[in-house]
Structure 1
Amino acid sequence: MITENIQALVAYRLEQADESLDAARILLDRTLDRSAVNRAYYAMFYAVLALLATRKRETSKHGGAISLFDKEFVKPGTFTKDFSRWLHDAFDLRQRSDYVRDFKV
């Protein structure tokens, strides 16, 4: 059963995801590609946190969230493996665009 607290957390995480996606679009329009990658990834991350909250699963670690998403949603077939691959790829791209000095998007 999803409690009011969980519903509020899901709504908050989805709001974060929506705001991050809006920011990514704006940054991309301004050709701020590295920052756009960051915000696009975070939109995905916050959406995953919302999904995990519906299963009463929480983590603040990116790798933990991705692993739980795979375990809770991909392995049982709720989401296809494509979603897992996109999430893993987005995480890797965000890491490189944030931390590799000469990385080009």
Structure 2
Amino acid sequence: MIEQHQIGLARYRMSKAKEKIRAAEILLESSAFEDSVSRSYYAILMAARALLALKGLDSRKHSGVISLFNRHFVKEGLMDRTASRIIQDAKGEREEADYGDYKVVTEDEAMNQLAKAKEFVKEAEDLLENLIKAQGEEYS
């Protein structure tokens, strides 16, 4: 059973994911491509953490969040396997953009990463609301 505080936390985290999408868009428009890629990744990570909140799960480490997400949502068939690839690829792109010496992120790369982040966040939000709705119907 999903508890009210879990629903509140999940929705809060999803709103933070959408804020990060907006930040990535602004950074992209400002030609800050590396930073846009970083915000796109954090949007994905926050959306994954939103889903995990519904199950009372979280991790302080990014790799832990990804592992929990894959175990509880991808392997369970709640999210498509492409979601696993998107989050894993986004993590690598973000690390390269933030820490890679001489790494130049192009506008196309930043746009592609933002598009994937929007797709991931949308699918995660749809699932989140469906899970909440399903529980409400189950207990009404």
Question: Could you list the per-position Cα deviations for residues 5-51 of structure 1 after superposition, in whole angstroms to 9, with x for gaps in the alignment?
Answer: 11221121011101100000010011100000010000000000000
What residue in structure 2 maps to residue 82 of structure 1? 82
Structure 1 segments (4+ residues) deviating >4 Å:
none
What residue in structure 2 maps to residue 102 of structure 1? 102
* Structure 1 segments unaligned to the other structure (5+ residues): none
What residue in structure 1 maps to residue 45 of structure 2? 45
The number of equivalent residue pairs is 105
* Structure 2 segments unaligned to the other structure (5+ residues): 106-140
Cα separation, 1, equivalents of 2:104 and 2:75: 33
Question: Could you list the per-position Cα deviations for residues 40-68 of structure 1 after superposition, in whole angstroms to 9, with x for gaps in the alignment?
Answer: 00000000000001111111210000011
Structure having the higher Rg: 2
1:75: how far off?
A: 0.9
What residue in structure 2 maps to residue 23 of structure 1? 23
1:78: how far off?
A: 1.1
TM-score scaled to structure 2, two decimals?
A: 0.72
What residue in structure 2 maps to residue 5 of structure 1? 5
Cα separation, 2, equivalents of 1:22 and 1:16: 10
Bigger RCO of structures 1 and 2 (CA < 8 A, at least 6 apart): 2
TM-score scaled to structure 1, two decimals?
A: 0.95
What residue in structure 2 maps to residue 56 of structure 1? 56
Cα separation, 2, equivalents of 1:81 and 1:104: 29
Cα separation, 2, equivalents of 1:40 and 1:27: 10
